Amino acid sequence: MTSRERVYRCLDFDHPDRAPRDLWYLAGVSMLRAPELEQMISRFPMDFEQAVGRYGNATRTRGTVAEVGTYTDAWGCVWSVAEIGVCGEVKHPPLADWTALEDYSAPWEMLEGADFSATNAQCETVDRFVKAGTEVRPFERMQFLRGTENLFMDLTLQPPELFKLRDLLHEFFMAELELWCRTKVDAISFMDDWGAQGNLLISPDLWRSFFKPMYKDYCDLIKGAGKRVFFHSDGHIQAIIPDLIEVGVDALNSQLFCMDIEEIGRSFQGQITFWGEICRQNILPFGTPEEVRAAVRRVRKALDRGNGGVIAQCEWGIRDPLENI
């Protein structure tokens, strides 16, 4: 069974020969622990491959991501990094004052100068499952542009500028997805971190009225092109898992250990594939290898009834012991 066949069978609950593997690692791991990373990937080859492709040069980009100091991303958001190998936080949102929205534009030069000519050749020559990552993260991008406190007030008060910003982002994200849909990738992913430790960051009703229609558009476009939809969200998001299933998400990466894993299995096993994960707040950094094994067995028992639906995924933090990964 090839890696691509294995992942498709997992997504279709069609008895893959084993759980597909997908190791995530923070930039600091590749920067500071490269020999260990190489050893891990050599021992446990991955079933996924990131799609190649080049976006156009963004005119607002300055500095280097994940190095101590500041950098400016393609959208003009200024990030502060206090520790090497992490992305940092936006301290200077460019739309903190709504008056700046009047002359603001998305980084269309990224899409206008994009070159995905190598993507199809990649998909045709590898036997791994090829997944494209994207810029699509409407809730997070709104926070980066407005500032988190401002955005939560906006979602409560709903000024007209909020809807203008939403539409600006949605137009860009749909155009980006259309570019990837023209390639031969197996899946396209997008993300938003929706959960706090014990609940959603906004009410489920507000999420459904304001953000869910955008998500449905993304999923409809991707599924219409014959691709699978992969989605990531941190935190406690149990309340909206039925909605993610409804709009068409095929594989969900979430912080299972913030939630009731067994209840999630009873409610949703067989309806969506669980794309990992193992607890990276406590077990991976601080647990013993046997505690990690117990966590893996717990996830497998709760979410996979012998026919697939679970991807063996975890995130490697910069201080996590090699033996735990």
Q: What is the pLDDT of residues 235-271, one digit of tens each?
A: 999 999 999 999 999 999 999 999 999 999 999 999 9
- Integer Cα distance of 177 and 309 in angstroms: 25
- Integer Cα distance of 250 and 229 in angstroms: 5
| Mean per-residue pLDDT of the chain | 97
Residue 281 has pLDDT above 90, yes or no: yes
Residue 305 has pLDDT above 90, yes or no: no
Residue 86 has pLDDT above 90, yes or no: no
- The whole-number average pLDDT for the span 291-300 is 97
User: Do residues 254 and 236 touch, judged by C-beta distance below 8 A?
Assistant: no
First to last CA, the chain: 25
| pLDDT digits 0-9 by tens, 125-163 | 999 999 999 999 999 999 999 999 999 999 999 999 999
User: Do residues 26 and 70 touch, judged by C-beta distance below 8 A?
Assistant: no
Q: What angle do CA 139, 27, 81 make, to 5 degrees?
A: 65
| pLDDT digits 0-9 by tens, 33-42 | 999 999 999 9
Q: What's the predicted TM-score (pTM) here?
A: 0.96
| pLDDT digits 0-9 by tens, 169-205 | 999 999 999 999 999 999 999 999 999 999 999 999 9
- Integer Cα distance of 184 and 120 in angstroms: 5
pLDDT computed for residue 315 by the predictor:
97
As given in the structure block, the two tokens for residue 183 are 């390639």
- Integer Cα distance of 161 and 181 in angstroms: 30
Which domains does the chain carry?
3-59+93-316 (3.20.20.210)
Query: Which residues have C-beta within 8 Å of that of residue 305, sequence separation ≥ 6?
Result: 269, 270
- Integer Cα distance of 199 and 129 in angstroms: 33
| pLDDT digits 0-9 by tens, 13-68 | 999 999 999 999 999 999 999 999 999 999 999 999 999 999 999 999 999 998 99
